[in-house]
Structure 1
Amino acid sequence: MLFPYGISDFKELITQNYFYCDRTNLIPLIENTGKSFLFLRPRRFGKSLIISMLENYYDIAKKDMFEKLFGHLQIGKNPTPLHNQYFILKLDFSCIGAYGDTKELQQFLMDYVNERIKRFCFDYKHIISEPVEINPDNAVASIESLLKIVSHYETSIFLLIDEYDNFANELMLNKTISNTNENDPYTLFVKKDGP
Structure 2
Amino acid sequence: LDPNEPLLIEQLAKRFGVQDMLTATRDQSFLASLMYYLGVLTIADSGDAMGRLVLRIPNLVIRRLYVERIRDATLPEYEDRETARHAAEHFYTSGDLEPLCDFIETRYFQVFDNRDYRWNNELVIKTAFLVVLFSDTFYIMDSETAIDKGYADLSLIIRPDMRKYRLLDHLLEFKYLSLKELGSSDEEIKGKTREELRALPRVAAALNEAKQQLARYRTTLQNAYGDKLRLHTHAVV
Please say whether Structure 1 and Structure 2 have the same fold, judged by a TM-score greater than 0.5.
no
TM-score (norm 1): 0.34
TM-score (norm 2): 0.30
